[in-house]
Structure 1
Amino acid sequence: MMYVTIQDFIDDYENETKTTQRLLDALTDESLRQEIAPGYRTLGHLAWHLVPGASMLQQAGLRFEVPAERKEPPASADTIAQAYQRTTRALIEAVRAQWMDETLQETNLVYEMPWKNGLTLAIFLRHEIHHRGQLTVLMRQAGLPLSGVYGPTKEEWAAFGMAAPAI
């Protein structure tokens, strides 16, 4: 799938960022140290990775303000959540101001591959969704409450007075 209108991307991205923001807002400073296994990203590293940075979008020519320090995540969950909110807003405004629907058909080298800008936006969003799934697993391991992403969590089903469907 490739975006062919700016508004389609913005609509999808705004919807997905609301979901990601809810999860990031549930993190605690203590939870940021949660690992899936030794030697892999911590919850803090994964959460920080969700904050857009100098990435594929900048390789495609989109310019927006990103956090300067990207190597180590902040020790504060609130700092990560605020950076995500600030940066995603800047990204949306940059897309609105710098690109038009026709720009989505232009090709740029991204990771040394020729991608149309509409494809770059689609892959960028899928990248976030992929890592958000990993984030939810680490949040579960850390004992944090989860909100549903594309459907209710087990706890949300229980709040409805129902058992979660067995899969």
Structure 2
Amino acid sequence: MSYRDDPELMARLYESFRATPLHALLGIDYVEGDQPDGTVVVSMPVRPEAYGASGNLHGGAIATLIDVAAATAAARESAFVPGVNTLVTADLHVRYLGRPTGDMVYARAHVVRAGRQLIVVECRVVDGEDRVIAVADFSSMVVPLREPLPGAAHDPASPEL
């Protein structure tokens, strides 16, 4: 049985995700519903909290959106088990290709290959008109469960998806 088959655990995971201060600040959320071939879709509103000094969507906000989508795809297609091990980003490369029109951007991530420990994911960020804003490749590793940093308000049994 997969952890995704446990509705209570999934509810706790989503609650933990939404309570993460950076996710809340940027308004990052999951797009519900089945996606083709295991693709994960995550949304982020285009709003001042995500702007850089130039008044445009900050590259770091886009990278955070990608990290969330890609890590979620990696978790779902790997040996990750909440409360047993953890998933850490090993590498993230982003190509910024344009700025969005409209008030929302979406990261669509899918696993290219999931090994025993290393998971490789591709991700595209598009705006509401399906124009490509950024593309990325991402890798993560399944590692033994780690203690949170001092002062972090995090429940190790409720890691990010």
The two structures have a TM-score, normalised by structure 1, of 0.28
Which has the greater radius of gyration? 1
Structure with larger RCO (C-alpha < 8 A, sep 6+): 1
Structure with a larger share of its residues in helix: 1
Structure with a larger share of its residues in strand: 2
The two structures have a TM-score, normalised by structure 2, of 0.29
